[in-house]
Amino acid sequence: MSDKYWRRIFHPAPKEGNKMKANNLGSKIRDEFPIFKNNEKSVNGQTKPFVYLDSAVSAQKPKHVIQAMVNHLENDYGSVHRGAYGVSIRSSQMYEDTRHKVAKFIDPKINANQVVFTRGTTEALNILAYGISDVYLNENSRIVIPAIEHHANLIPWQQAALRKDCELAYISMLGKKGNQLTLNLSEAEKLITKNTKIVSLAYVGNVIGQINPIEEIIAMAKKVGSLVILDCAQSMSTHEEYLFSLGADAIAFSPHKLYGPSGIGVLAMSEELIEKLPPSTFGGGMISDVTLEESQWISGPAKFEAGTPPITEVCGLGAAIDWVEKKGRKNIHNHSSELAKIFLDGLKNINDIEVFSPESGQETIISFRHKKIHAHDMATILDSENIAMRAGHHCAWPLIRILGVDALIRCSFAAYSDRDDVEIALEAIKNASKKV
């Protein structure tokens, strides 16, 4: 293996047809992420780089985010909305300032009072499913979701349908390969009828990386008066569309996929939903009055934020938004999708590889499998080369079964990914058969 696979000394010129646009991402920002230097491996006196290609599960954190959280813990940490002393006041101000920043980041159409901090996308979608089933659904209602959703946007709606004894209908894909790996809009139009109360789907799929036609589906839903919920866990770092302006009623995302911390999520809702939905967690901070007989809830986002919230994580979220906006979501998307296209083209030249991608050129996630090496074994082989990719069902069992496979390997690209990552990964996949 040549030196370029062991140390990023130089970047070979891209092959004709795979030229990447000049930008300030990839290797140019690698030093902003301590994890890469700290996870290099020394082999026979040479340095083997850490190739992280699992950003779809969780993105790495830049120094800007890490230092913001350290500074807060060292200088300003205090419980929010609970003290009349300095650190509590400063923490509370940061917490609410970040809520305003998040609202602006999502859509100028919404305000800070529509933004709820949760533990993650999963909790946010559960809050929605629980509350909506209580307020909006009955036995005559229909919920419509794609069959290929992440479990976090499938199971809560299954449970809501069971609670209300109502119908849960699934939108299928057009097919199982290539550009057929997209939602069947004709079927969606037939399913989204006047009794449809909820349409919920991911903006970007977490397994095959498809960019779902949300504008078309939102239009179908609004035509019959349905609420629209969007899982934006995979899209917030790369897509800039103002989703509430397009007609969404609620969105959810996780900052840990946005180069921020884990342990925190964001749920943004319409003013109607934030007013009408009941809380699902009870305790301090979300009440206006409590007697021994009953309790009354405070209005606004605090109604959904019982207990001590993820204070330092909120600080990290604010820093992550600043970092992403400085780099530019469009730039991040263009950079990541170009790398994914090069990787996809390379996979097609390797024997026994089967690719699962819509191949639109806009995906930042590519899933594949080796016909002779199980996905979990392939992930282990890649790890021996200091390459991180996820293998398994990716919290999407129905999709895996639809595709007719038992597991997939997922490769996902981010702002810090570069051409060397692609070349190293392709070489390791090509040589994997020699290790089994």
Reported as half-sphere exposure (CB side, CA atoms, 13 A), residue 308 has a value of 10
pLDDT at 47 over 90: no
According to DSSP, the residues that pair with 142 across neighbouring strands are 167, 196
At 407, which amino acid appears? A
Res. 46 pLDDT band, cuts 50 70 90: confident
Higher-confidence position of 163 and 14: 163
Q: Contact 132/198 with Cβ under 8 angstroms?
A: yes
Give the mean model confidence (pLDDT) for residues 272-295.
94
Q: Point out the catalytic residue in the list 232, 315, 395, 411.
A: 395
Q: Dump pLDDT digits (tens) for 293-350.
A: 999 999 999 999 999 999 999 999 999 999 999 999 999 999 999 999 999 999 999 9
pLDDT at 1 over 80: no
Nearest Cα residue to 172 out of 183, 163, 181: 183
How far is it, in rounded angstroms, from Cα 86 to Cα 170?
Answer: 52
395 is catalytic: yes
Q: So what's the pLDDT on residue 435? A: 79
- Quick one: what percent of the chain has pLDDT higher than 70? 95
How far is it, in rounded angstroms, from Cα 77 to Cα 96?
Answer: 14
Ordered DSSP codes for 228-257: EEEE-TTTTTT----HHHHT-SEEEE-GGG
How far is it, in rounded angstroms, from Cα 196 to Cα 22?
Answer: 46
Pairing of strands 167-171, 295-297: unpaired
Q: So what's the pLDDT on residue 21? A: 52
Q: Dump pLDDT digits (tens) for 203-244.
A: 999 999 999 999 999 999 999 999 999 999 999 999 999 999
At 247, which amino acid appears? G
How far is it, in rounded angstroms, from Cα 29 to Cα 335?
Answer: 12
Q: Taking the domains of the chain in order of start, what are their residue ranges?
A: 25-49+328-434, 64-326
Q: So what's the pLDDT on residue 42? A: 83
Pairing of strands 41-43, 46-48: antiparallel
Q: Contact 367/209 with Cβ under 8 angstroms?
A: yes
Per-residue tokens: 148: 């290929």
Q: Tell whether the torsion through CA atoms of 307, 310, 312 and 316 is positive or negative.
A: negative
Average pLDDT, the chain: 94
Q: Contact 402/175 with Cβ under 8 angstroms?
A: no
Please report, in angstroms and rounded to a whole number, the separation of the first and last CA atoms in the chain.
19
Per-residue tokens: 149: 């959703």
25-49+328-434 against 64-326: fold identical: no
Non-local (6+) Cβ contacts of 65 within 8 A are 259, 260, 261, 316, 319, 320, 323
Nearest Cα residue to 296 out of 304, 305, 286, 306: 286
Non-local (6+) Cβ contacts of 34 within 8 A are 63, 66
Cβ of 308: how many Cβ atoms within 10 Å? 13
Q: Dump pLDDT digits (tens) for 396-421.
A: 999 999 999 999 999 999 999 999 99
Cβ of 298: how many Cβ atoms within 10 Å? 14
pTM for this one? 0.94
Reported as half-sphere exposure (CB side, CA atoms, 13 A), residue 158 has a value of 10
pLDDT at 126 over 90: yes
Q: So what's the pLDDT on residue 207? A: 98
Cβ of 95: how many Cβ atoms within 10 Å? 20
How far is it, in rounded angstroms, from Cα 199 to Cα 226?
Answer: 7
Nearest Cα residue to 229 out of 249, 243, 213: 249
The CATH number assigned to the domain with range 64-326 reads 3.40.640.10
Q: So what's the pLDDT on residue 14? A: 47
How far is it, in rounded angstroms, from Cα 255 to Cα 271?
Answer: 23
How far is it, in rounded angstroms, from Cα 323 to Cα 329?
Answer: 10
CATH fit for domain 25-49+328-434, picks 3.40.50.300, 3.90.1150.10, 3.40.720.10, 3.40.50.1820: 3.90.1150.10
Cβ of 224: how many Cβ atoms within 10 Å? 14
Per-residue tokens: 26: 């990839």
Q: Contact 261/69 with Cβ under 8 angstroms?
A: yes
